[in-house]
Structure 1
């Protein structure tokens, strides 16, 4: 009968997983830009945070369970995901530019005539697409984190640390964005944000195509 791993074995792996995942997700990207925007709008924030965290949980678990080598050995699948992801990011970039042409203002009550709230279904589908149509997610989360986990003394503790980092980051990003609400009461701030989002989405789309 094997004994449970000691704290001295589990804790370093937990911390390593936390730092590794945080290093991968704390960057300007399509998913983070989307979470930030939803947080500022105070629109279905809890659903977005839960979906992003759950997505990382599924992908990290799959990577540690052994899906990483399988994904890496299927270049055709990664190529298809890359083109689908690039097309979707390009669509989001165009949509952001169109929004910037008619900047809104923050309306917490959702009563302003110029502010159109997105449906929960639309937000959920966009969040899922940004999570699972990006091939970099599979390479970073499934392949890289999966490989790193098996270099640790406690692979699943590493995975738990990674998911903990994901939970902390998306919660802070989504719900912490409300502190920016006074700034985004001005239409010009929304215009700048949407143009920045458009630039990020377009750059990532180009990166996916030329990679």
Structure 2
């Protein structure tokens, strides 16, 4: 039991602790201290749901439905490009930051819809949680559900630390130029992931 739980925790953390669309958004919301709880809760709950589905065997089904991954890749790439362009505009136009270093405030609805899109329109999320974690978890036999608990716990710990711990970095973002740099990085990350998704559709 403990071995499976720790294995899930370690692998889960290793997969999500990386610069990605979801993490970049959670970090930005954390720095702004804006709707952090619902954003963190959605990220953690979504991971838990997808990990559970993977352990239950959905990963094997997804691997057979190549057309579904193609649809998700195209939709996810389109959304990431749109979001990346918006971040790039904020980085390149200081006028958008004159009234508030963090930019215009967002509503709870906007934040929730954005994090849902960043989560469920990104095929990497399915490949990491449903397919990879599901496949590895299945090797733990009767302990596979403890593996799932460990992986889900890893998501809770990481997103909580990223979202609520980001406020410790606020002194570094006291000046508008810091937000411009952050938005520039977010733009590069989002568009880079979108390009990688589209390149994955090309014949090899």
Cross-structure match for 1:108: none
CA shift in 2, pair 1:39/1:74, >3 Å? same
Match of 2:153 in 1: 164
Give the drift of 1:176: 0.4
Closer/same/farther in 2, CA of residues 191 and 201 from structure 1, 3 Å limit: same
Q: Is it true that 1:138 corresponds to 2:129 in the alignment?
A: no
Aligned to 1:46: 37
Report the RMSD for the aligned CA atoms in angstroms: 1.5
Q: Secondary structure of the equivalent of 1:181?
A: helix
2:105: which partner in 1?
117
Q: How many residues are paired up?
A: 197
Q: Deviations over 1:80-120 (max 9, x none)?
A: 00000000010011000111123438xxxxx8598421010
1:86 is aligned to 77
1:24 alignment counterpart: 15
Q: Is the 8 A contact 2:101 2:176 kept in 1?
A: no
Post-superposition, which runs of at least 4 consecutive aligned residues in structure 1 deviate over 3 A? 111-115
Q: Summarize deviations over 1:116-149 as a string: whole Å, max 9, x none.
A: 2101000000000000001111111001100111
Give the C-alpha shift of residue 186 in structure 1: 0.2
Residue 74 in 1 paired to residue 61 in 2?
no
Structure 1 residues 180, 161: CA separation in 2 closer, same or farther (over 3 Å shift)? same
Provide structure 1 residue ranges, at least 5 long, that are not aligned to the other structure.
Answer: 1-9, 106-110
Q: Specify which of 191, 195, 207 is matched with residue 196 of structure 2.
A: 207
- Give 1 or 2 for the bigger CA radius of gyration: 1
Q: Does 1:99 align with 2:90?
A: yes
Structure 2, unaligned stretches of length 5 or more? none
- TM-score if structure 2 supplies the norm length? 0.93
TM-score by length of structure 1 reads 0.90
> Of Structure 1 and Structure 2, which has the larger fraction of its residues in helix?
2
What residue number does 2:138 align with? 150
